[in-house]
A and B are shown apart, each in its own frame.
Chain A
């Protein structure tokens, strides 16, 4: 674990794997978009509206993946006081919040022609909005402290409290009648979706995951660079040189 606590080693590693992620993400994104938006069959009920699914569903996956990685990074940061894990959590939050907003916006655009309304207060939609607010609270807490160490620990504790609460929120809102369709990919046995639709969906899923990782590495490197700049400025002002 602490092998990767060394920023120099992390920077080397991230520079080495970045081209590989890029090499997977770009073809998957292009192929997924082409197959999904052009090639895939239209739904007999929803017509072309079904194509929104290819950008909506993977975004919802990444919204949840983002929060899980945030919580795991927070746990590692709290337990082992791992500095890069704190950094990863801080870097992951805005990306996860971004995917959550994409999922909400595309879902709303899909809901208008299909359900006849932009928004319904149904279980799934409500819990995703709550997820967005958990992301926003985490980010706000990071910005609320002067010292980054304290901010990191406070935000990590919040992320872990949030993950205890997330299933409770999910179950509580499930008590309302749900309009959103149940899962059709991850159920046991064969997926309830045509292979011609499943293929672009999975390609988009891989592309979104690659995008998430790329942005995460990029943000972490920027964060490290910012801290280095800050440390250098501090050292310079301590030496009494005019800045």
Chain B
């Protein structure tokens, strides 16, 4: 696991060195949410009903923002070639990168979501459901996104292509995240949705570092 901790520390240090650049994703998340009351009209009933779904969709889109730099930057400055020749298993490096990506984009969104929920006049149970859903859903988004980022290294127009590849794969997470919020809002049991979100996260925790590692090896060939 040395590779994992080394990469995690390095990516977090790089993000800190950018001083504020790392928080662009959560700023985009908040700004995107503020566009909806302006576009849809400020009716309180409608906003509180749509709020959970809007926040879940914006979480998907904000996750995409930083993804295309996940491996691309390392590929351009040659770091990736060093990582490929390092003795640490490649999956642990990928995992470190994905966890760093989540700490930089997913975790701030998790903190910002309750505030945005209040701005959209969501009920407290719905906000609670949203936080649980985002806590279990956003790690999956970073993990699956790492596979997409590894596949699109060195492509022309990588960012748009990455969105086209990754968004269809995000659909289950979106459905169960908004399902959790709806169930929590109406007072129904949402344990089922939460369990499935957790199961999807564990499945991607096992499969995606390996798949992304296979994809990274193709770059070196």
Q: How far is the CA of A165 from the CA of B156 in the complex (A)?
A: 26
Q: A165 with B169: in contact, given A157-B211, A157-B214 (CB under 8 Å)? A: yes
Contact of A153 among B155, B172, B218 (CB under 8 A): B218
Q: Which residues of B contact A161 (CB under 8 A)?
A: 144, 147, 169, 211
Q: Are A144 and B211 in contact (CB under 8 A)?
A: no
Contact of A137 among B154, B156, B157, B168 (CB under 8 A): B168
Q: Are B218 and A164 in contact (CB under 8 A)?
A: no
Q: Are B215 and A133 in contact (CB under 8 A)?
A: no
A134 at the interface (CB under 8 A from B): yes
Q: How far is the CA of A160 from the CA of B151 in the complex (A)?
A: 12
Which single residue of chain B is at the shortest CB-CB distance from A136? B164
B61 at the interface (CB under 8 A from A): no
A154 at the interface (CB under 8 A from B): yes
Count residues of A near B (Cβ-Cβ below 8 Å).
27
Contact of B151 among A130, A158, A175 (CB under 8 A): A158
- Chain B's interface size range is 20 to 34
Q: A145 with B154: in contact, given A169-B171, A172-B171 (CB under 8 Å)? A: yes
Q: How far is the CA of A137 from the CA of B160 in the complex (A)?
A: 11
- In A134-160, which residues have CB < 8 Å from any B CB? 134, 136-137, 140-141, 144-145, 149-150, 153-154, 157-158, 160
Q: Mark B187-221, 1 if CB is under 8 A from A, else 0.
A: 00000000010001000000100010011001101
Residue among B207, B214, B219 facing the most chain A CB atoms (10 A cut-off): B214
Q: How far is the CA of A192 from the CA of B162 in the complex (A)?
A: 43
Q: Which residues of A contact B156 (CB under 8 A)?
A: 144
Contact of A172 among B164, B176, B211, B221 (CB under 8 A): B176
Q: Are B207 and A164 in contact (CB under 8 A)?
A: yes
Q: Which residues of A contact B66 (CB under 8 A)?
A: none
Q: Which residues of B contact A130 (CB under 8 A)?
A: 168, 171
Q: Which residues of B contact A78 (CB under 8 A)?
A: 214
Give the tally of cross-chain contacts (CB within 8 A). 71
Q: Which residues of A contact B196 (CB under 8 A)?
A: 172
Q: How far is the CA of A175 from the CA of B175 in the complex (A)?
A: 9
CB distance from A67 to the nearest CB of B (A): 12
Q: Which residues of B contact A145 (CB under 8 A)?
A: 154-155
Which single residue of chain A is at the shortest CB-CB distance from B214? A157
Q: Which residues of B contact A173 (CB under 8 A)?
A: 171, 175
CB distance from B160 to the nearest CB of A (A): 9
Q: A154 with B164: in contact, given A145-B155, A172-B176, A173-B175 (CB under 8 Å)? A: no
Q: Are A154 and B161 in contact (CB under 8 A)?
A: no
Q: How far is the CA of A157 from the CA of B168 in the complex (A)?
A: 15
Q: Are A141 and B161 in contact (CB under 8 A)?
A: yes
B139 at the interface (CB under 8 A from A): no
Q: How far is the CA of A169 from the CA of B175 in the complex (A)?
A: 9
Q: Are A158 and B218 in contact (CB under 8 A)?
A: no
Q: Are B168 and A154 in contact (CB under 8 A)?
A: no
A168 at the interface (CB under 8 A from B): yes
Q: Are A140 and B175 in contact (CB under 8 A)?
A: no
B105 at the interface (CB under 8 A from A): no
Q: Which residues of B contact A141 (CB under 8 A)?
A: 151-152, 155, 161, 165
Q: Which residues of B contact A107 (CB under 8 A)?
A: none
A162 at the interface (CB under 8 A from B): yes
Q: How far is the CA of A127 from the CA of B72 in the complex (A)?
A: 31
B179 at the interface (CB under 8 A from A): yes
Q: Which residues of B contact A (CB under 8 A)?
A: 144, 147, 151-152, 154-158, 161, 164-165, 167-169, 171-172, 175-176, 179, 196, 200, 207, 211, 214-215, 218-219, 221
Q: Which residues of A contact B (CB under 8 A)?
A: 78, 130, 133-134, 136-137, 140-141, 144-145, 149-150, 153-154, 157-158, 160-162, 164-165, 168-169, 171-173, 175
Q: Kindly list 15 other residue pairs between chains A and B, CB separation below 8 angstroms, not including A133-B167, A141-B151, A157-B147.
A: A78-B214, A130-B171, A134-B168, A140-B161, A145-B154, A145-B155, A154-B151, A154-B152, A161-B211, A162-B168, A162-B169, A169-B171, A169-B172, A172-B172, A175-B179
